[in-house]
Each structure stands twice: as C-alpha cells, then as structure tokens.
Amino acid sequence: MINPVPENTVSYQDTFKVEENALDALNHVNNVVYLQWVNDISEKHWNLLAGQEIKEKYFWVVLRHELDYKNQAFLGDEITVLTWVGESSGVKSIRNVHVYKGETILLKARSTWCLLEVKTLRPTRIKEDILSLLKPDLS
C-alpha cells in the first residue's frame, strides 16, 4: 500500500475482513457499505484525536461525500481503511479516506465536514484547539 498521507498529518487506519452482511446481489461489497466504512473510520479517528473536553464543545456533520470506486472486494478479503484530514479552514474540513485490499486501492473518498458548536448547534470556526489535534506530536 502506497502511503498517500502528507508527513505533517496524523492518520488512522483499521484492518478487518469482509463479512457476508457487506455483500450485494453480485457477491461483492455493496457501494453503501463503502460509505459506511468511510463514516465509521472518520468517527473512530475523531474519537481517538479529541478528548472529552473537545467533544463536549464540538461535533462534526458531513456536508458532502465524493466516492471514487476503483476496484471490488469480496467475502473474506482483508480490508485496510486509511483516513487523514486535509485542508481545514473556516468551518469546513476535508477528510480523505482510502480503502485497500492489500496493495490494491478499492476506493478513494473525499468528504467535507462542518464543525458545529454543541451549545448552539451552529457552525463554528475551526480554531487551534482542533487544528493542533491534526498535527503529529514531534516531541
């Protein structure tokens, strides 16, 4: 797997095997399942990055998903899902997700998320308390 993650970015990945409930009538992973994997890895990454204090102040909602299906996966295939956050400015952040079967890219996704404040349920600017979570700890 070629690592597409920029050096100055914190990434997260998860590996698992395709289960029968992920298959469609053609016996390959259903397109909707890929979208679920994109959402699941995004939430897992955020929950690992953000402490309780941050999560009590903010949450994310998705505005847009762009999915490019490149190849297929089948029952029992070992899948690696990789995510990282790209450009973040104003109230929006771009999250990238790649799905692999070994060295083969199955899906490239790019999602636009909006940061909301818990108390007001309104969009809020992405400030340093969030941006600092996305940078590797070099200490």
Contacts of 11 by beta carbon, 8 Å cutoff, 6+ apart: 5, 45, 82, 83, 84
Q: Is residue 139 part of a domain?
A: no
pTM for this structure? Answer: 0.93
Please count the structural domains in the chain: 1
Instruction: Write the pLDDT tens digit of every residue in 72-126.
Output: 999 999 999 999 999 999 999 999 999 999 999 999 999 999 999 999 999 999 9
Going by pLDDT thresholds of 50, 70 and 90, the confidence category of residue 27 is very high
Going by pLDDT thresholds of 50, 70 and 90, the confidence category of residue 1 is low
Q: Is residue 23 part of a domain?
A: yes
Expressed as residue numbers, the domain containing 51 is 11-134
Q: Is residue 53 part of a domain?
A: yes
Per DSSP, the three-state class of 76 is coil
The first and second tokens of residue 99, run together, are 């799905």
Q: Is residue 97 part of a domain?
A: yes
Task: Give the CATH number of the domain where residue 102 resides.
Answer: 3.10.129.10
